[in-house]
């Protein structure tokens, strides 16, 4: 067995590269043509039922508005009911024929079951689930944590919240041949210092839904959205003002439109803004340079009390 592994170590990578170089050009052409077809025949969501978590502000709020403009019926979920009502009122004015609000906490499994059931009981179906609810802590180095209980909510909401919501939504999405939209983050590969737990929660989320997509096949579409810095409450909370001054931040409205266009086209992935993809390839090809840049740029903008041997 050891000899077999040694043999594969020597020959498998070169053979794989040769095969990829041979087949990649025609594959990319076919992929481009297929993407054009999906764009032309983009899904019409008018009258369809869309459940959005974390819909009281930020990306969730503006995704709701984009769906409303296209005539979708909405179920909006968040913990702040007063904010939800305001979003619902605006969504109706923008064109949504029917909107309900459900106050719930996605970190609690019983509440995930409740808001999915309330949505289906009210509308009779479910077409899209937008897993948007998320939280982040302010930049803090791992060594600065003294009690890990105060970061449990990051995994409970960012990962488990989307898992539980999806679990109860799947039977209904199978019936409608529906879609799941996963609002993740480029943090899954951009190992930003001070965001270790947030980065980990997003990496877990992406890996989970990639696995689900393999399991579901064509039954349920899954679009995984990896975001850069987007104008929102959460971005302002965990990034220092000095860092926001130099970082290019995309508007929430523009981001929401891109998310909906990509979802309706049936894309597997969306990186928004698209230039953020460059950071992924830099990390893959030059990991030493990538980590040095993150350490130099981010740590220099963190409070002095949070720096360790920088």
Catalytic positions are: 198
Contact partners, residue 219, CB within 8 Å, separation at least 6: 174, 177
Which candidate, 304, 303, 301, places its Cα nearest to that of 243? Answer: 301
Which candidate, 67, 158, 29, places its Cα nearest to that of 106? Answer: 158
Identify the three-state secondary structure at position 272.
strand
- CA–CA–CA angle 139, 58, 126 (5° rounding): 120
Contact 153, 159 (CB under 8 A): no
Which candidate, 143, 164, 173, 163, places its Cα nearest to that of 207? Answer: 163
Distance CA 28, CA 26 (A): 5
Contact 302, 139 (CB under 8 A): yes
């Amino acid at each position: 067995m050891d000899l077999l592994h040694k043999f594969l170590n020597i020959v498998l990578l070169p053979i794989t590269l040769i095969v990829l170089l041979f087949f990649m050009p025609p594959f990319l052409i076919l992929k481009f043509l297929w993407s054009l077809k999906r764009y032309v025949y983009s899904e019409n969501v008018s009258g369809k039922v869309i459940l959005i978590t974390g819909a009281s502000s930020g990306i969730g709020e503006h995704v709701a508005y984009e769906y409303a403009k296209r005539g979708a019926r909405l179920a909006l979920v968040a913990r702040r009911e007063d904010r939800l009502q305001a979003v619902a009122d605006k969504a109706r004015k923008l064109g949504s024929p029917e909107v309900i609000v459900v106050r719930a906490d996605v970190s609690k499994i019983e509440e995930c079951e409740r808001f999915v059931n309330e949505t289906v009981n009210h509308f009779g179906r479910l077409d899209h689930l937008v897993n948007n609810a998320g939280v982040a802590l302010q930049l803090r180095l791992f060594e600065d944590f003294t009690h890990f209980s105060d970061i449990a909510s990051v995994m409970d909401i960012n990962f488990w919240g989307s898992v539980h919501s999806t679990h109860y939504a799947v039977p209904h999405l199978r019936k409608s041949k529906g879609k799941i939209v996963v609002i993740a983050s480029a943090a899954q590969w951009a190992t930003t210092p001070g965001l270790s737990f947030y980065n980990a929660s997003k990496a877990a989320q992406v890996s989970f839904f990639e696995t689900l997509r393999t399991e579901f096949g064509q039954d349920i579409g899954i679009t995984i959205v990896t975001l850069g810095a987007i104008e929102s409450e959460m971005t302002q909370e965990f990034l220092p003002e000095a860092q926001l001054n130099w970082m290019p931040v995309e508007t929430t409205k523009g981001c929401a439109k891109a998310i909906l266009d990509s979802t309706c086209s049936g894309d597997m992935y969306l990186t928004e803004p698209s230039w953020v993809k460059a950071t992924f390839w830099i990390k893959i090809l030059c990991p030493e340079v990538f980590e040095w840049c993150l350490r130099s740029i981010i740590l220099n903008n963190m409070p002095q009390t949070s720096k360790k041997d920088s």
